[in-house]
Amino acid sequence: MRHQLGEIRPQNFSITLDFYRIFNKPINAFDLRVPVNYSHSSYIDARSREIELLSTTKHRSEKLTSTNFARATDRLYPDLTYRVEIFMSSERVTLNHALLMMEEFGYMLVGAHGLLLVQQYHPEVFLPKKSYTSLDKSDALYVDERGPYGVPRVDKTKKGNWNFTVHEEPYEDVVLYPGSFLLCIREQSLEQLLKYIELLEIKNKELLSRQQKLKNAPGAYVPIMGRTTLNPALRGVITPSDNPRPLGFAALAPSIGSSDTSPNPDARHAQLKAVQERLRLQMEENERLLNSLGLRS
């Protein structure tokens, strides 16, 4: 059974054991913010044209087109932040088995779109002489007389050049070999984001209280020694603003409801975008308070 995207609630004991045996834990994890001008229907074509012009491109498959990958099971949305986790396979595993494990852990199936976005905005995570794959279901790939084809793959040479290819074997014949890397993308959970915002709001109130006490204290201002550390994975996707406004957990509740699911994908992603924006504003306020108190090193 496929869980709500973003959830980590494995229930199939056998598949869960397989996942931890084959992939263990991610070798890298980071946030990916999809650009505001991203378009699912045209991104691969546009990126392919850019790739052709790069001096570091060694090979790009002609099959890497928006048309061939238009039927992606899950779509990435512009101006949203997703969690990327990269796993290394410790043994030979078929694509179908890998897909079962990804679905059990709530990962998205984004295929070439996710792989190219990560390569474009986080090329530093790709190790040389290693193969990276992003999976999707067979019915989301292009089909010829031999069946579904086109599992995307990216690898970087020892000299730093890039190969953008697709597997030419039939889908059922493609396997992940030991030492190959699987790129997995997860939606951020609304529930988890709200909990983080609630904690951040409490911290901001504490900092604001300390700021007021300092302003009212007689004599010169003396910074308080010490430092507050936030989640670096979330801090990396924030763009500071000059006009932070106070927004708290209570203000979020009416806009998103009490459920982390929505029957309308567009409505759900609109909710997710609104919550991520409110988190951004709370983090801006936190940075402002930390700087004003001399707590940011």
Tens of pLDDT along 250-270? Answer: 334 333 333 344 457 778 788
Residue 215: in which H helix or E strand, if any? helix 190-216
Cβ atoms of residues 62 and 121 within 8 Å? no
The candidate with the shortest Cα–Cα distance to 132, out of 27, 18, 20, is 27
* DSSP 8-class letter at 29: E
The segment with the largest mean pLDDT, out of 12-26, 45-59, 223-237, 263-277, is: 45-59
Query: Is the whole model's pTM more than 0.75, yes or no?
Result: no
* pLDDT confidence of residue 159: 94
| 169-184 average pLDDT score | 88
* pLDDT confidence of residue 294: 86
Tokens representing residue 62 in the block: 């002609």
Percentage of the chain lying above the pLDDT 90 cut: 47
